[in-house]
Amino acid sequence: MAESVSYENDGQYNHLRTTLPVPMFSRSDFNIWSVLKNCIGKELSKITMPVVFNEPLSFLQRMTEYMEYAKLLRIASEQSDPIERLKYVSAFAVSALASNWERLGKPFNPLLGETYELTRPEFRIICEQVSHHPPISAFHADSESFSFHGSIHPKLKFWGKSVEIQPKGTVTVEFPKLGEAYSWCNVNCCVHNIIVGKLWIEQYGMMDVVSHKNGLKATLNFKTAGVGNKDLHRVEGYISDRNKRKTHFLYGKWTEFIKCTDYTSYEEYCKENGYKFKRADERSKSPNESPGTTPRKVLSKLNSLKMSSFKSLSISEPDDPPEPSEGDIPKSDSTYSIDIPNSVSLWEAEARPGNTAEYYQFTNFAMSLNQLEDHMKQPRALCPTDSRLRPDIRKLEQGDMDGAAAEKTRLEEKQRENRKKSKKGDDGGLFPRWFKHTINPHTKQEDWIYQGGYWERTDDTLELDIF
């Protein structure tokens, strides 16, 4: 029987589970290469994956894991200095990626109109699948001190040895009482060793957290592992003011922690420890290596393949994924640990449960996301489109692999039928129901903005049959 974890001063959350009903099914007898070998360069959202490669969560639930460290936004809202607020917002942006480490299961693709709600002491959030082609998931979280919203259009591509996930879309944090807004785009994720070796995950790319009111910006570099895995998980960056003067240095690992120090202390530290910041592969850069660390001979070989579906891997393409290493999961080289004087810790990841390897590498937060909590079992307590009510996810969670596969197929066929009705206008244009496609007032870009009304809904008699 699952154990429970308590939330102080909130009896509603006294019985959140810290395990799943049964351990995950072993994937050792299944070869993902057998599924992906004909998909090089293709958009993977259109590829049907066997259910054994899934984890028992919808992408809407997985997206909710942004909020695991929502307390950082509350702390940010309590700071009187705008630079201090930006520090904690930046730490929150990094913390949202921490649960990805070693999470190799693919979440279920949400159905059009599918929703997911979650309420915790620090926030409440509503998510909706607002588009099926292309797949777009929108969310809106709020509390007494902040709101956090955005829309994600994930793109997955197979590159021969690795799968790259590009989380297209912008996310926005607002502090209504301060009249402030911050926005950023998440970095890419790469799953290595698809063909040979143990799978492992890398986050990489640049992230700019912009304060729209104060002209401040945090520029964060999520580094690739590099030679000898010196930079595995490392994040480094700086805060600059409206005059582009660097005021603070941010550093840490997206899997563990983020610290901050003033820029002068960082510069002094670099005088004696510069080797910790200069990459080994930059010091010995070979003329036969591309800027994306992919050897030219590999690019030449891949580009010579006669496949109409194969995307050209030009060495000048900024989105080229880093060349994966083979073998075991890499470990960070502690020789290059960094602890700069005058540093302040902004965020530390919570330890995962001891049984995490048996349960899809879930964090404690993730363990409860598909749980039907006691108050949800009341009639009409949940919206009938909530992810917790999906039978394929529920069966996988319970260890019924065949049942999950059958339900997954049934739901996909049902969604195709619903799309036919939608094209004929038979569904009354019901979906999306809670979000509207419009312009984000802060980024001035197209976005899906929450229209309100979900938490106050009273039309429980409306038939919403997507499952």
Per-residue pLDDT band at 198 (split at 50, 70, 90): confident
Residue 417 vs residue 77, higher pLDDT: 77
Query: Does residue 422 contact residue 104 with C-beta atoms inside 8 Å?
Result: no
Average confidence (pLDDT) over 289-314: 36
Average confidence (pLDDT) over 116-132: 96
- pLDDT at site 56: 98
Average confidence (pLDDT) over 294-300: 42
Residue 7 clears pLDDT 70, i.e. is over it: no
3-state secondary structure labels for all residues of 145-202: CCEEEEEEEEEEEECCCCEEEEEECEEEEEECCCCEEEEEECCEEEEECCCCCCCEEE
Residue 332 clears pLDDT 90, i.e. is over it: no
Question: Residue 195 phi/psi, 5° resolution?
Answer: -90, -50
Q: What percent of the chain has pLDDT over 90?
A: 60
Average confidence (pLDDT) over 107-130: 96
* pLDDT tens-digit map of 272-284: 888 888 765 554 3
Residue 162 vs residue 443, higher pLDDT: 443
Whole-angstrom distance, CA of residue 357 vs CA of residue 449: 37
Per-residue pLDDT band at 434 (split at 50, 70, 90): very high
- pLDDT at site 32: 61
**Choice among 98-112, 349-363, 420-434 with the minimum mean pLDDT:** 420-434
- pLDDT at site 284: 39
- pLDDT at site 301: 41
Residue found by looking up tokens 């595995």 in the block: 232
Burial code (b: 16+ CB inside 10 Å, e: under 16) for 307-325 equals eeeebebeeeeeebbbbbb
* pLDDT tens-digit map of 344-367: 999 999 999 999 999 999 999 999
- pLDDT at site 427: 55
Whole-angstrom distance, CA of residue 288 vs CA of residue 335: 28
Question: Residue 231 phi/psi, 5° resolution?
Answer: -105, 20
Question: Residue 77 phi/psi, 5° resolution?
Answer: -65, -20
Burial code (b: 16+ CB inside 10 Å, e: under 16) for 32-51 equals beebbeebbbbebeeeeeeb
In the structure encoding, which two tokens stand for residue 40, read together? Answer: 């090089």
- pLDDT at site 31: 62
Closest CA relative to residue 101, chosen from 257, 236, 254 = 254
Whole-angstrom distance, CA of residue 114 vs CA of residue 24: 25
Whole-angstrom distance, CA of residue 64 vs CA of residue 57: 11
Whole-angstrom distance, CA of residue 325 vs CA of residue 193: 7
Residue 302 clears pLDDT 80, i.e. is over it: no
Report the largest interatomic distance among the alpha carbons of the chain, rounded to a whole angstrom: 70
- pLDDT at site 465: 85
Residue 307 clears pLDDT 70, i.e. is over it: no
* pLDDT tens-digit map of 366-423: 999 999 998 898 888 899 999 999 999 999 999 999 999 999 999 999 988 888 877 7
In the structure encoding, which two tokens stand for residue 35, read together? Answer: 């599924």
Query: Does residue 72 contact residue 93 with C-beta atoms inside 8 Å?
Result: no
Residue 53 clears pLDDT 70, i.e. is over it: yes
In the structure encoding, which two tokens stand for residue 223, read together? Answer: 């580094």
* pLDDT tens-digit map of 147-195: 999 999 988 887 778 888 888 999 999 999 999 999 999 999 998 887 7
Average confidence (pLDDT) over 195-205: 86
Q: Is the bond into 23 cis (omega within 30 degrees of 0)?
A: no
Residue 124 clears pLDDT 50, i.e. is over it: yes
